[in-house]
Structure 1
């Protein structure tokens, strides 16, 4: 339940939503570029884009064309910063939501205790 509340509040914030859209666009650009330059399927291109941006780098795919190699260099330089920013933002939002939830639980607990002691 907490996950869904966090996700909904994340998507309702314009700044977070814009970051999510930008991240999706970066992955989409990489997917389409690899599909075009390397001739890979959309699924393989998406897979390689995500593996590259998250710095996992399994090594099962690698660009063979000069265009694909040059694009990968630029894609890594630009994309990794965006992905790290996105992951950091999600972590920050999640931590903030947990803090708010714990604060509310504590507030309710203190309110109950003050009623019983009165």
Structure 2
């Protein structure tokens, strides 16, 4: 449990630091609009509930194999999904890389602070 809390803290600090970068903010906004468009599309075209449409729009962009139990039925939805995944996965991947970089940078900064404290104490 402690490990989870510390990891969550690092993630939140990494998010905070990432949002200070204009490039990350631009990627986040783009990803938000992509997910919003996917949610609206699946809600309107497939007739899914809002939460199901949002869940599918987000989970399908995460680079893991999560089974949602939701599948586009019409040919138009399938074509949209192919384009949506090509565009959205790239944006999601770059954003996750930038977020991971911020978390690693924070961890390195903390280690350097500890080393400086040890040197000052000696």
Give the TM-score, by structure 1 length.
0.84
Greater gyration radius: 1
Structure 1 unmatched runs, 5+: 114-118
Q: Higher relative CO (CA 8 A, sep ≥ 6), structure 1 or 2?
A: 2
Q: Equivalent residue of 1:64, what SS?
A: coil
Give the distance between the partners of 2:68 and 2:119, measured in 1 at CA: 55
Question: How far apart, CA to CA, are the structure 2 residues paired with 1:76 and 1:2?
Answer: 29
Unmatched 5+ residue regions in structure 2?
A: 1-8
Q: Is 2:85 aligned against 1:68?
A: no
Using the alignment, how far apart are the partners of 1:13 and 1:67 within structure 2? Answer: 37
Residue 99 of structure 1 corresponds to 108
Q: State which of 76, 96, 114 in structure 2 corresponds to 1:87.
A: 96
Q: How does the TM-score come out when normalised to structure 2?
A: 0.82
Which of 5, 11, 16 lines up with 2:13 in the alignment? 5
Give, in whole Å, the separation in 2 of the partners of 1:75 and 1:31.
11
Structure 1 CA distance, aligned partners of 2:42 and 2:102?
32
Pairwise CA RMSD of aligned residues?
A: 1.7
Q: How many residues align?
A: 113
Instruction: Tell which deviates more after alignment, 16-25 or 40-49.
Output: 16-25
